[in-house]
């Protein structure tokens, strides 16, 4: 096992990957980072749920060996840096980790730790399932019709961090180059960002979405893009997606144009323009199962969809490299700093990210047990403040009490 300065490796075994399949020992070492702001409250409640459910499902036969990985403010106080290199090394070595939200300053300061982690570990797929749980308050009439999984490309697009500041020598140089080589007249007082979208990055993301849809017996994969305007980036994403279906999946999947909309029992791969998609998830959500999209679109879509089923307090996420199995599961909301250390907020985003983590590890008994207990807890109207304020007759629970209610409902 690697040599670490701050990370203490507990007694347990490494998760490994064989022929693309995760091999999970009975006492897997799993990295966790509690996160900033409300992160520690949420993590405490979630960890208690995970340990209790593993014990409930397997007696003492299986157990998680938790290994703390430092990131964000805690890392800065313990290791003197917000994002120690050894945190990334430990995720690579131990394959699976789970984290709470991390602070990112806007318009300056350090770049997003979340974005850096996704890029440096090449966690190319951001996977966000969105479904409704009975009893959870929603702003739409039929939230149960929303049942989708978003596959968001995680390493490219305007998120690649390739930006130059307005007025900087770099911006000036670029503007001169653009004028001279391409005849582009860009306003001189512009900041510039680049939007790289590659064939490699697009195809591997769409491939993972198609494989997921086939494995979970879904009917459709929709490629969502703004290719009518951004032809060589978002338009190319769509084109490469259809190409991939023909190249690698022709026996099990078919593109819309090749079947006139009738896939004859195969997986249907279709596409949709991003703005229409935002209308249709409200008006015709049943038409979408798995959605494959680019980085920035995916960020917007997952929050919009989360709102339809109860808000970001309940939206889970995973960042996965399907080629080597390395995965970091995470809350999709931020640190909600105004509620820090009040034991108040909803821990469901991390708890449901844990459900995804246990599925990824092959411990599906645990995922199912957590989901069932969560359903019971919502049905009993025992909820945290965010849902209590929207529900009649709800019992308001603290973050830790909500975790305890899930454990009681096992």
DSSP-derived secondary structure letter, 262: -
Residues belonging to the chain: 410
Q: CB of 263: closest distance to ligand NAP in angstroms? A: 36
Helix (H) or strand (E) holding 98: strand 96-99
**Residue 273, SS3 per DSSP:** strand
Q: CB of 320: closest distance to ligand NAP in angstroms? A: 15
| Catalytically annotated residue among 172, 257, 275, 338 | 275
Identify whether 275 is a catalytic site residue: yes
Please identify, using beta-carbon distances, which residue of 107 and 183 lies nearer to ligand NAP: 107
Please identify, using beta-carbon distances, which residue of 338 and 408 lies nearer to ligand NAP: 338
Helix (H) or strand (E) holding 153: strand 147-153
Q: CB of 386: closest distance to ligand NAP in angstroms? A: 4
- Residue 88: count of CB within 10 angstroms of its CB: 18
Helix (H) or strand (E) holding 327: strand 327-331
| Catalytically annotated residue among 74, 99, 226, 270 | 226
Please identify, using beta-carbon distances, which residue of 221 and 312 lies nearer to ligand NAP: 312
Nearest to 388, CA basis, from 372, 405, 373, 371:
405
Please identify, using beta-carbon distances, which residue of 40 and 235 lies nearer to ligand NAP: 40
156, 196 in Cβ contact below 8 A? yes
Identify whether 299 is a catalytic site residue: yes
209, 151 in Cβ contact below 8 A? yes
Identify whether 159 is a catalytic site residue: yes
Q: Please give the residue ranges that form the binding site for ligand NAP (CB under 6 A).
A: 38, 101-104, 114, 312-313, 330-331, 333-336, 345-346, 349, 386
**Residues 6+ away with beta carbon under 8 Å from 252:** 214, 266, 267
Chain residue at closest Cβ approach to ligand NAP: 334
**Residue 249, SS3 per DSSP:** coil
- Residue 256, token pair as written in the block: 């819309």
Q: CB of 319: closest distance to ligand NAP in angstroms? A: 10
| Catalytically annotated residue among 70, 82, 159, 339 | 159
| Catalytically annotated residue among 299, 322, 339, 385 | 299
Q: CB of 168: closest distance to ligand NAP in angstroms? A: 24
- State the angle between helix axes of 199-215 and 236-248 in degrees (0 to 180), rounded to the nearest 10: 50
Please identify, using beta-carbon distances, which residue of 34 and 386 lies nearer to ligand NAP: 386
Active site positions, annotated: 159, 226, 275, 299
């Amino acid at each position: 096992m690697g040599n670490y300065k701050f990370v203490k490796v507990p007694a347990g075994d490494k998760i490994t990957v064989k022929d693309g399949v995760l091999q999970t020992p009975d006492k897997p070492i799993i990295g966790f980072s509690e996160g900033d702001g409300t992160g520690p409250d949420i993590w405490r409640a979630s960890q208690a749920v995970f340990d209790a459910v593993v014990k409930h499902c397997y007696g003492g036969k299986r157990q998680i060996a938790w290994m703390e990985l430092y990131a964000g403010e805690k890392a800065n106080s313990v290791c003197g840096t917000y994002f120690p290199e050894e945190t990334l090394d430990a995720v690579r070595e131990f394959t699976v980790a789970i984290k709470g939200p991390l602070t990112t300053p806007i318009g300056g300061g350090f770049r997003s730790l979340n974005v850096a982690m996704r890029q440096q570990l090449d966690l190319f797929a951001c996977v966000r399932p969105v479904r409704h749980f009975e009893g959870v308050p929603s702003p739409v009439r039929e939230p149960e019709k929303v049942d989708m999984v978003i596959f968001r490309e995680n390493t490219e697009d305007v998120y690649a961090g390739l930006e130059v500041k307005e007025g900087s020598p770099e911006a000036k140089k670029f503007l001169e180059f653009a004028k001279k080589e391409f005849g582009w007249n860009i306003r001189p007082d512009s900041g510039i960002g680049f939007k790289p979208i590659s064939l490699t990055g697009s195809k591997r993301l769409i491939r993972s979405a198609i494989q997921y849809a086939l494995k979970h017996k879904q009917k459709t994969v929709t490629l969502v893009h703004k290719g009518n305007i951004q032809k060589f980036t978002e338009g190319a994403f769509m084109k490469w997606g259809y190409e991939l279906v023909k190249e690698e999946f022709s026996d099990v999947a078919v593109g819309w144009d090749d079947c006139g909309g009738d896939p004859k029992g195969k997986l249907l791969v279709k596409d949709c323009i991003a703005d229409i998609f935002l209308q249709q998830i409200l008006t015709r959500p049943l038409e979408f199962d798995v959605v494959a999209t680019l980085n920035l679109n995916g960020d917007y879509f997952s929050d919009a969809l989360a709102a339809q089923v109860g808000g970001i307090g309940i939206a889970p996420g995973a960042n996965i490299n399907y080629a080597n199995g390395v995965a970091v599961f995470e809350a999709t909301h931020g640190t909600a700093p105004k509620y820090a250390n009040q034991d108040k907020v909803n821990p469901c985003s991390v708890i449901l990210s844990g459900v995804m983590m246990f599925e990824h590890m092959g411990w599906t008994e645990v995922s199912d047990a957590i989901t069932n207990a969560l359903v019971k807890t919502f049905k009993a109207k025992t909820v945290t403040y965010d849902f209590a304020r929207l529900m009649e007759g709800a019992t308001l629970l603290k973050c830790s009490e909500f975790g305890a209610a899930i454990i009681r409902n096992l």
